[in-house]
Amino acid sequence: MEQALKGMKVVDLSQVLAGPYCTMVLGDMGADVVKVEKFPLGDDTRTMGPYINDESYMYMMVNRNKRGVCLNLKTDEGLQVLYKLIKEADVFIENYRPGVTRKLGIDYDRLKAMNPSIIYCSISGYGQTGPYKSRGGFDIMAQGLSGLINMTGEREGKPVKVGIAIHDIAAAQTAIQSILAAYIHRLKTGIGQYIDVSLVDSGLAWTVWEAAAYFGKGEVPRRNGTAHRVSAPYQGYKTKDGFILIGAANQKLWEKFCLSVVNKPEWVADERFLTNSIRAQHVDELEIEMEKVLMEHNSTYWLDLLDKSGIPSGPIYSYDQTLSDEHILSREMILKYEHPVAGEMKTLGFPAKFSETPSQLKSPAPLLGQHNKEVLVELGYSIDEIDSLLTNSVLKN
């Protein structure tokens, strides 16, 4: 099957997570992605373990379906190679702070002059405008500025970082959807454009319920553990042998839970639990009452009963349990492939299942400079010219 983005050419000058995740997804959907790594050590994630035969698993996780060149952009020759790539590209992605691209000679105005239809996407911590634009920004700083850390954790506990690099992934997803929208616009008009994506903005845009509470009644989101801000019961609860999640988040489900699962009809008439909003006001009392009952049996007993009763529920897994769950495996969320140095590898699968243009794992993450010759030959360089660039430390492999 032909893939949706076949024919799209992407030049990726980003590194670490947000940009590489974005271009990985574009590559999964068929784009030809050339990853340009800095000379001489490459993407910073190459220095992050764990390692398999000296290849970084971190790097390999977000750089599949790309061709790789290692280019010295501090040389005129290296910059000319990049310019040739960009002249033929549809999309260019970088993750520098404002001002750096101009110093490097790769700012939007310069590249637009070379390729007026280029879609230029910049991913940075704080964006290209505003008082914080020149600050260095990683995911944890974005979580702090967006308020996410302060609203995560147990109510009386310390603020807690979200368990994954959520702002990085949010920025990657924002970049993906923005690039695709710009690409559709370009197909219609022939006009490219500049896209400014920040980690802070991307994660903040996901705080929709929290913004509703603040804008609607001035409520500042607090740490709630696993509890929901406006619905109950909708959180994790202790059982005899662990914890489970229960989401009886509307009146019909609540009454079914009381009558069919825990056999507590008196809870339906309890003034503390009459409606969803009232239950949310008495969430601590509700948790105490529910756990008195739930701790009589183990998690499997309750999950089976909840499932049969049609009450949304689920386990709270450790990550190894997640990756061995039959549903996860049946959805092909773990893929195997061969890497030329690391050998047989596992990676995460594709979350979207297309009927006509499925994502594909066509190639493993490139070795450092693996495709130098292949890419430069396509640009019109001779083998002798490429060897000279290697000798003069313009290319690295």
Crossing angle (nearest 10°) for helices 18-28 and 166-189: 50
The confidence score (pLDDT) of residue 33 equals: 98
With a cut of 70, list the residues of the chain below it in pLDDT: none
Tell me how many degrees the CA angle 354-355-360 measures, rounded to the nearest 5: 50
Q: Classify residue 395 by its DSSP letter.
A: B
Task: Please say whether the beta carbons of 258 and 265 come within 8 A.
Answer: yes
* Tens-digit pLDDT profile for residues 5-51: 999 999 999 999 999 999 999 999 999 999 999 999 999 999 999 99
- Whether residue 233 is preceded by a cis peptide bond, meaning omega within 30 degrees of 0, is yes
Q: Which helix (H) or strand (E) holds 196?
A: strand 193-198
Q: Give the pLDDT confidence score for residue 97 in this predicted structure.
A: 86
Residue ranges covered by each domain of the chain: 9-206+331-392, 234-317
The upper half-sphere exposure of residue 262, i.e. CA atoms within 13 Å in the direction of its Cβ, equals 22
Q: Which fold has domain 9-206+331-392?
A: Rossmann fold (3.40.50)
Supply the pLDDT for residue 13. 98
Quote the pTM value: 0.95
Q: Is the dihedral of CA 247, 249, 252, 254 positive or negative?
A: positive
168's CB contacts (< 8 A; 6+ apart) are 16, 17, 18, 21, 139, 199
Is residue 168 part of the annotated active site? The answer reads yes
CATH superfamily membership of 234-317 = formyl-coa transferase, domain 3 (3.30.1540.10)
- Tokens for 331, please give them: 């959805």
Q: Same fold for the domain at 9-206+331-392 and the one at 234-317?
A: no
What confidence score (pLDDT) does residue 93 get? 98
Q: Is 144 in a helix, a strand, or coil? A: helix
- Give the pLDDT confidence of 57-115 residue by residue, as tens digits: 999 999 999 999 999 999 999 999 999 999 999 999 999 988 899 999 999 999 999 99
Q: CB 265: neighbour CB atoms within 10 A?
A: 10
Distances (CA, A) of 312 to 122, 172, 324: 40, 30, 21
Catalytic residue among 168, 307, 320, 384: 168
